Amino acid sequence: MNLLLFIFTLLVSFIAVRIGAIVFELTGLEWSLAKFQALSCFTGTGFTTKEAELITGNTQRRRIASVLIILGHAGFVTLIATFANSLRTDVLGSRLAVPFLHLLIAPQVLPWINLAIIILASFLFYRIFSISRFANKLTNVLRRRIIKQDIIKRVSFEELVVATGGYGISQIEICNDSPILNKTLIESGLRQADILVLAVERNEEIIPNPSTSTRFLLKDKLICFGKLGNIRKQVCIE
């Protein structure tokens, strides 16, 4: 039972990372970066400061990262517990009381058989999820399901980080507690914070290069260029 639970948890972990990569991509991240971010969050290995800005500066990505971190911790604990129990001879002897099994396989050999099965299953899952044809087909199926169910809100641009000085392009969504809600561009103080508003997305309409009199309304999305640290201060924390 512990062996089957280990294999099932391992399979779910691979699928969870793949789904995490897909939803990260739908928020505007490049695919290879989305896969790395999903794996980093799920395994708790972390990422560099510049890459962390891509997650912390976006509301949707923070939610996705939080879910992946929680699932990763739960999965890791389950894998460790089931792995340890799979190698215990006392547990195996009591739970695998199959008639005549003790005549075919000595109890002390069963842990080694389980270990071999675990190693083989881990290798097979890794190979299966690494094979381009299968991985691409699975990714496309999951992506269509996620888009159809409207699980994640897609973005129409890719976030760009400029290597020098921490500048980049990012998005601000105006919410109820936003400091710039119902303020005009000149009143918002964004320019003084070294933030240039490139466009405003409002009800699926794009207002490019907004004038200083443009007033920011609830649910507006501002596509901005500037210091990512300053842009993050304008993002609503949920």
Tens place of pLDDT per residue across the chain (238 aa): 677 888 899 999 999 999 999 888 887 777 788 888 888 889 887 665 566 667 776 777 888 888 999 999 998 888 888 888 777 765 444 444 445 455 556 667 777 888 888 899 889 888 888 887 888 888 888 888 887 777 666 554 445 555 456 677 888 888 888 889 999 999 999 988 889 999 998 887 889 899 999 999 998 989 888 887 788 777 664 4
Which pLDDT belongs to residue 233? 76
Q: Which of 120, 148, 176 is the last residue of a domain?
A: 148
Structural domains counted in the chain: 2
**Tell me, what DSSP letter sits at residue 186?**
H
Q: Are residues 131 and 27 in the same domain?
A: yes
Q: Does 155 fall in a domain?
A: no
What is the DSSP annotation of 26-74? HTT--HHHHHHHHHHHHHT----HHHHHHHHT-HHHHHHHHHHHHHHHH
Q: Are residues 121 and 222 in the same domain?
A: no
Q: CA angle, corner 174, sides to 170 and 175, nearest 5? A: 130
Q: Which of 148, 179, 203 is the last residue of a domain?
A: 148
Q: Does 121 fall in a domain?
A: yes
3 state SS of 19: helix
Please tell me whether the overall predicted TM-score, pTM, comes out greater than 0.85 for this model.
no
| Residue 69: CB atoms within 10 Å | 15
Q: Are residues 48 and 164 in the same domain?
A: no
Q: Are residues 164 and 143 in the same domain?
A: no
Q: What contacts 130, CB < 8 A, 6 or more positions away?
A: none
Which pLDDT belongs to residue 141? 87
What is the distance between the alpha carbons of residues 13 and 48, in angstroms, rounded to a whole number? Answer: 23
Q: Does 81 fall in a domain?
A: yes
Q: Does 123 fall in a domain?
A: yes
Q: Does 154 fall in a domain?
A: no
Q: How far apart are the first and last CA of the chain?
A: 40
Q: Are residues 168 and 107 in the same domain?
A: no
Q: What contacts 154, CB < 8 A, 6 or more positions away?
A: 26, 27, 147
Q: Does 190 fall in a domain?
A: yes
Q: Does 153 fall in a domain?
A: no
Q: Are residues 141 and 69 in the same domain?
A: yes
Which pLDDT belongs to residue 92? 46
What is the distance between the alpha carbons of residues 103 and 106, in angstroms, rounded to a whole number? Answer: 7
Q: Are residues 44 and 142 in the same domain?
A: yes
- List, edge to edge, every strand of the sheet that includes 205-208: 160-161, 167-173, 221-227, 195-202, 205-208
Q: Residue 197 belongs to a domain with what CATH number?
A: 3.30.70.1450
Q: Does 217 fall in a domain?
A: yes
Q: Are 11 and 125 in contact (CB under 8 A)?
A: yes
Q: Are residues 190 and 226 in the same domain?
A: yes
Q: Are residues 142 and 186 in the same domain?
A: no
Q: Are residues 133 and 174 in the same domain?
A: no
Q: Are residues 123 and 184 in the same domain?
A: no
Q: Are residues 60 and 164 in the same domain?
A: no
Q: Which domain range does residue 179 map to?
A: 160-232
Which pLDDT belongs to residue 194? 87
Which pLDDT belongs to residue 97? 47
